[in-house]
Structure 1
Amino acid sequence: MNSTMISGGVFLLVLLLLAIPLGKYISEILQGRIPRFVRFLEPVEKFVYKVIGRPATGEMSAKKYLLSILFLSFFSLIGLFILLLTQQWLPLNGQEVSGMSVTLALNTAVSFVTNTNWQAYAGEESLSLFSQIFGLTVQNFLSAAVGMAVLCVLIRGFVQKKKNGLGNFWQDITRSILYILLPLSFFISILLVSQGAVQTFSSGVAYEGLSSQSLWLPLGTVASQVAIKQLGTNGGGFFGANSAHPFENPTVISNFIETISILLIPAALIFALGFWIKNWKQGRTVAVVSFLFLIIGFLIIAVNEFAGPEFLHVLATGNMEGKEVRFGIDWSALWAVSTTAASNGSVNSMLDSFTPLGGLIPLFLMQLGEIIFGGAGSGLYGMLTFILLTVFIAGLLVGRTPEYLGKKIEPFEMKMASIVVLTPLLLTLLGAAVLVLHPDILSWLTNQGPHAFSEVLYGATSLANNNGSSFGGLLANTDFLNILGSVLMLISRFLPMAAIIYMAASLSRKQQSAVSEGTLSTVNPVFVTMLIIVILVVGALSFLPAVALGPIADFFQNR
């Protein structure tokens, strides 16, 4: 356990040292102030605006901003859907992969457009290299940029005074991709290649096995896709084994780089909030809560995997089932907590093989609404929604009009906040209920009893919270689950986004109030404690009955 503490401490220190300056840089970029050292990219930015045309100019209202997001997402979904259906006729298909079925293509297209990246297939068997590059990788950039753009809108709502415009969507996503996602992805790709991650335009090579059988070794543009899948909190792997595959994640160093990449942009955006509103203490509040949940979650997983009741007789090794020897329990636990805290969904071990309480933590982090770091942009605007809810509750308790960052929080904002908070919660429970009631559910599961229910609950939670990770043990590629998953992913992505945009418009039209002695402080330990309580009461307790039937019952059954 000493090595676990050291590994976790080094990881958190490096993450902080990278996230703070990156947050400053992101803040400047998203406000349209381009630093000198990247101004050589400005001609590219201007060219993109010229290609887009008139929509890339001028301020947008809430309605226009939302319609732009839906327009881009709809045509991205249709384009990717058609590409996956017809990939057998497209180039870069050395393995001669056939097109996907209609429901699987739909599910995959929805998954990548919504930044969920749920994969009901093995990438090396079901996708051509053309689909990996021009389908999935492109959407990894676009879906992350859309989340960051919506966060920009909410922050503008707080800092602007009596203004109707919310910025320009096309400018926001262009800057996010050009100045943030692309440079970081290029740098991370180089680091991964240096560690042995594959990067080639060859689809693979044929070779002869030990028994003289003809075999195929899949290859491709792995490093570049892995870089953006982690940085953009996407998570969809090039290979079916995801980041447990040695071509995606060859060494302990590459594992460290990828784990940092998962949390880097979400953590940097927290500090970017403080820089943007010129009040770093507000960013500190979010950072304290997020890091606290992350650290506690990591320790619970590590303790249960090293020394859970089932493994007291093997303390030297602990529970190594489903884990890569080159990573061990330390880095598997840290990855598991990072990928579910950050709405990433990639895995470097089999979560289904974790102990019951070790597997409970990834499930718990998703059920909080993916706000502990969360997705690129979406995590922070989800956390800000919980802050508004906490401010509103505190205002009712003391009999004062609730305010946050000088803006009064009124019934309309609370209605929008309720949509953001309750949508993934209700979809998770509804999705799990629908799956359990399906007559064929037992044939889709490899386990029975509480563990089987944990697999179902985890799958519904992952889909409804735009995570994309899987517990395993649940047959994902069925027509029913493909369609159900598509519906859950679409609603949980775009309904909260719409609520955030209209909330931002309402805030933007308000006058900013001056801070007085009666203003509730949102940066002191008391407020941090209240925020944690609200997150736990609204998020965690809503799922207690379901969790009691799954991981908790599984724990007591195996004692």
Structure 2
Amino acid sequence: MTWQGIMQIVVLIAVVTVVGMLLGRYMFATLEGDGTFADRVFLPIEHGVYRLCGIDPTVEMRWTRYVFVMLAVNVAGFVVLMTLLALQPVLTVFNPAHMKQVPFWVNLNTSISFMTNTNWQNYGGETTLSYLSQMWLTVQQFLSPVTGICLMLAVVRGFSRHSAQTVGNFWRDFVRTLVWVAVPLAIIGAIVLVALGVTDNLAAYTVVHTVQGHKQVIAQGPVAPYDAIASLGDNGGGFFNANVGHPLEGPNAASAFFILILGFSVPVGCVFLFGRMVKDLRQARPIFATMVGLFLVGAVLMYHFEAAGNPALALHGIHLASSHNLEGKDLRFGTAESTLFNNSTTAVSWGAVVASNDSMTPLGGLIPLFNMMTGEVIFGSWGAGLIGMLAYAVLALFLAGLMVGRTPEYLGKKIEAFEVKMAVLSMIVPSLVILVLSALSVVVKSGLAGIFNPGPHGLSEILYAFSSGVGNNGSAFGGLGAALPWYSWTVGLAMLLGRFAMYIPLVAMGASLARKQRIPASAGTFPTHGPLFTVLLAGTVVIVGALIFFPALALGPFAEQFSAVHGALFGG
């Protein structure tokens, strides 16, 4: 580990904090406030969309109607995407490589993936999809993160409103987030990425001859616009199979660092938006401090384990000039930025990579795995990370209430049985899906057929696949036959449950809170804006994750680490 590597982590947090504070103010003015400096540009567009679609944005919705409309929009996007991918050979426009039809199971998995903001890719983009298909995936990458903001607004209004039967108008939230936040920020991001060297064209694939005399076909395409919304929207994945590790998608360290800033900006902005919506910015501090604290611990630990290298190599007489584990890493980025990037994209839930997760040391790979097992609340994706952390806050206050024998309160609302049940239900979903589907995959023949690495590493790959799916992250460990029908439909199921079964209960919790009267704080009210609540909240996240997943992790990453220390290897 070097001081330069540590400084990268510190600088990233400092930059995204400033960007998030500014963006949170802008998002509040746009979504809940009186307007912004951009009204003259965006108001005519917004009103035009309403007139074209026959929408009355002033009509408030109960939570059940809000959720129904949200599901209808997502189903429509799924049907259109699956149809276009099925018709890829027929739609010859922007298909210079004459890509064939996408296999059914890959199509199904991909369509679910991009609908749920997961962007899990069990295919190679440059070898499977035409430019037209990639561009439509870009459209879906706008729609799915905006849905997350809508879910967040519905939940947070439960804390900011009182004696209310409604949680807002989905169409207004959707259109304003799309027009005022997603599109302009993505345009700015794409311009910057082009300036940093990311490819953006519709040229035919280039055929070159290597110095060894072989022929190589190099895909190109509209990479910068794809990457801008893929990163900004925390969609994940990449235009190319190697993601940002591909030289046309991540040409240098500056482009990779800017991509990180894009990915953090809106999730951090959502935390400060929450503080403004509840009219007390102090309430954003413990949530943000918890997220930053957990992120920093993960970043430093992952950097440490990768810098320490693999102990099994030395025991087998393999001595390297550098002790760092450089397997699967691009030397342009090195250990420091590789670990910072991969830890960031599993904490912020967008899953892009610059290095192979499968090549990490056992404990280095444990960090991104645990990030996802928390339910993606360490920043998380657009809106989803914040409301996931609010569920932990409700549970933490419930536990605190049990210790002092009083009904817990949060932001002037009593936390009663229904709210606790909905919060716990949202936490049960990811753990149940990960553990049950992983257990099935190691006993059924079709699941075993996809395991390329025997022993504990193979189990880690399976745990990672389902954690990534249910966490709507999209990154992969690798070394797993993810395109096989078994993993295509089971990971697809995990993505659906992780997006809807996990967050719809929290919308119901928000609606319940919105109906309640606000109660004044008293001497027995637990303060939720100080360091004590920060420690309680962070402890709840870590302890719940540790208690649920430790047995599985003991058989995967921990067992592999102990084996490596003693020089044990697992043959193929």
Q: Same fold (TM over 0.5)?
A: yes
1:128 corresponds to which residue?
130
Q: CA deviation at 1:364?
A: 0.6
Task: Name the CA distance, whole Å, in 2 between partners of 1:161 and 1:488.
Answer: 35
Give the conservation status (yes or no) of the 8 Å contact 1:367–1:540.
no
2:88 touches 2:133 (CA, 8 Å); kept in 1? yes
- Aligned counterparts, 1:127-526, within 5 A: 127-134=129-136, 136-209=137-210, 215-308=216-309, 310=311, 314=320, 316=322, 318-526=324-532
Q: Secondary structure at the match of 1:446?
A: coil
Distance 1:483 1:471 in 2: 18
Q: Secondary structure at the match of 1:216?
A: strand
Q: Is the 8 A contact 2:329 2:338 kept in 1?
A: yes
- Give 1:445 shift: 2.3
State the 1:32 CA deviation.
4.9
- Report if aligned partners of 1:222, 1:238 keep a CA contact under 8 Å in 2: yes
Distance, in Å, in 1 between the alignment partners of 2:476 and 2:373 is 14
Instruction: Measure how far apart 1:68 and its partner are.
Output: 0.4
**CA-CA distance at 1:38 after TM superposition:** 4.5
Alpha-carbon distance in 2 for matches of 1:12, 1:558: 33
Q: How does 1:90-129 map to 2 (within 5 A)?
A: 90=91, 91-129=93-131
> Does the CA-based 8 Å contact 1:208-1:215 persist in structure 2?
yes
Q: Is 1:556 aligned to residue 562 of structure 2?
A: yes
The structural deviation recorded for 1:206 is 3.7
Question: Could you say what secondary structure the match of 1:89 adopts?
Answer: coil
| Greater mean deviation of Cα atoms: 104-113 or 519-528 | 519-528
SS in 2 for 1:201: coil
**Code of the aligned partner of 1:379:** G
Q: Tell me the secondary structure at the aligned position of residue 323 of structure 1.
A: coil
Q: Which letter maps to 2:520?
A: A
Contact 1:368 1:540 survives alignment (8 Å): no
1:422 to partner: Cα distance: 0.9
User: Deviation digits for residues 460-489 of structure 1, max 9, x if unmatched?
Assistant: 111121111100100110111111111111
Matched-pair contact (CA < 8 Å) for 1:193–1:223: yes
Q: Which of 531, 547, 551 is the equivalent residue of 2:553?
A: 547
CA-CA distance at 1:233 after TM superposition:
0.8
Q: Deviation digits for residues 199-223 of structure 1, max 9, x if unmatched?
A: 1122433445557765432111100
The amino acid that maps onto 2:351 is G
How far apart are residue 372 of structure 1 and its match? 0.6
Alignment partner, residue 42 of structure 2 = 41
Distance verdict in 2 for CA 1:176–1:315, change over 3 Å: farther
- The answer as to whether partners of 2:294 and 2:538 remain within 8 angstroms in 1 is no
Q: Percent identity?
A: 39
Aligned position for 1:74: 75
Tell me, in whole angstroms, the C-alpha distance in 2 between the residues paired with 1:287 and 1:30: 21
Q: Secondary structure at the match of 1:373?
A: coil
Cα distance in 2 between the residues matched to 1:33 and 1:251 = 41
Q: What amino acid is aligned across from residue 384 of structure 1 in structure 2?
A: L
What amino acid is aligned across from residue 285 of structure 1 in structure 2?
A: P
Change in 2 beyond 3 A, CA 1:397/1:89:
same
Residue 289 (structure 1) shift: 0.4
The alignment of Structure 1 onto Structure 2 pairs a total of residues equal to 558
TM-score, length basis structure 2: 0.95
Cα deviation, residue 393, structure 1: 1.3
Q: Tell me which amino acid in the other structure corresponds to 1:190.
A: I
CA contact (8 A) 1:88 1:97 kept: yes
Answer with 492-501 or 114-123: which moved more: 492-501
Q: CA deviation at 1:518?
A: 1.6
Structure 2 gap ranges (5+):
566-572
* Structure 1: gaps of 5 or more residues: none
- Give the letter aligned to residue 431 of structure 1: L
- Aligned counterpart, 2:535: 529
Distance 2:181 2:25 in 1: 12
Normalising by the residue count of structure 1, what TM-score does the alignment of the two structures yield? 0.97
Cα distance between partner residues in 2 of 1:203 and 1:25: 40
**In terms of mean alpha carbon deviation, does 115-124 or 258-267 score higher?**
258-267
SS in 2 for 1:87: coil
Q: Determine if contact 1:306/1:315 at 8 Å carries over to the other structure.
A: no
